Structure 1
Amino acid sequence: MCVGEDDPQVSRCQGRLTHRHGRWWVANNGRLPLRFPSRLLFTGEEPLPLETGYTPLFVRGSRDREHLLEVFVSGPETERPVALPGDVTRPPRVWVLTDEEKLAVVVLGQRYLLHEPRPQPLTWRQTAAQLAESRPGEAWSEKRVEHLVNRVRTMLSRDGVPWLTREEVGEPVGNALNDHLIRALMMSTTLVPPDLALIDAA
């Protein structure tokens, strides 16, 4: 499979797919790492197994190009999904938040909604201070913000969204839990840039 045929930064043999022990494996034979959704695979590392279904593999090329190879592994009794061009688009899973929860996560994640490069969540203190300033009569505190955000995180985690608990992320946690939460809310369109209007309204 040819990937990045006109890109001199992609190795002529960037990777290799092999089948053994009843599974498909990916090895990196190129100079650049292969990027999986959750990790990088470098030359010399042990091959990684592919799960049943679709797996996107990315290779970073020259001039900020990124080449995608989407691999589909069928299960023992499954067939490749058929094209459905006439079907109605399935809407994303959107979580229903209370007004307080929505405002708290919008303020917490405003840098993401503003499309800042390499955004980070606000701290509990920064979030509470901004809310207290815009809504002085509502007794916003760090503990209240933390409680609301943790309630949203718990809801998504119970619904199967990964990387929202300390056990999944591991120590040190840092901003990882809130970072994953905001990204999950945005990917599901539970949070969208127009929600920044809630801050202006406050």
Structure 2
Amino acid sequence: MTVAIRDAATVLVVRRDVGGASVLMGMRGAGAAFMPSKFVFPGGAVDPEDAQVALARPLGPTCRARLLQEDGLSPDAIAAAALRELAEETGLLIGRPGGAPCGWPGHAKAGLTPDAGPLIYLFRAITPPGRPRRFDAHFFVADAADIVGDPDDFGAACDELSHLHWVPLDQAGALDLPFITEVVLAELTALIRDLPHDQPLAAPDTVPFFDNRGPAPVFRQIA
């Protein structure tokens, strides 16, 4: 049976200080159809309504251009999905005061318009054939400094991810991780390895892409 490939967006929120870096992760439920009991980053499928969300700022020009060159993807919809999934699964918000009203409960209550400006496009991967669900997943990085409010307050999170916590980057490999999560963590480590903790994140030179649409997997770089 052919399984449709859905666009998806995932956010790696990284916290950096003089003591090192940590990344926000949670565990999927044992009964989940996709990656049960695995530690993952907040994320999920793009909904049709995501294309209608007004953003305070779009993705940066480099990240936006890389999404536009790939299959006519909608950068705004994918960025909106990333911010929505982050808010739903962790309760954490990235947004700016004022702007167009937002129907998402957390942003609306806080008076924030979702802000894609801080998101950095890091990685893309399409789920291989033979899985019960397949996604064209776009992985973004955001700095914890761009979260509005307390980055340790997960009180507004839904129950899709349990054990939400900030994992030291050098200890994340000890968790029960999907293979692709291990690969993306390596890309995050490379991105921030020589970056001082008080310097802003910047787009990588290229975005790795595991393309599993065809009969054979293809690995390439999106420049």
Structure 1 or 2: larger strand share? 2
Structure 1 or 2: larger helix share? 1
TM-score (norm 2): 0.25
TM-score (norm 1): 0.27
Question: Which structure has more RCO (C-alpha within 8 Å, separation ≥ 6)?
Answer: 2
Name the larger-Rg structure.
1
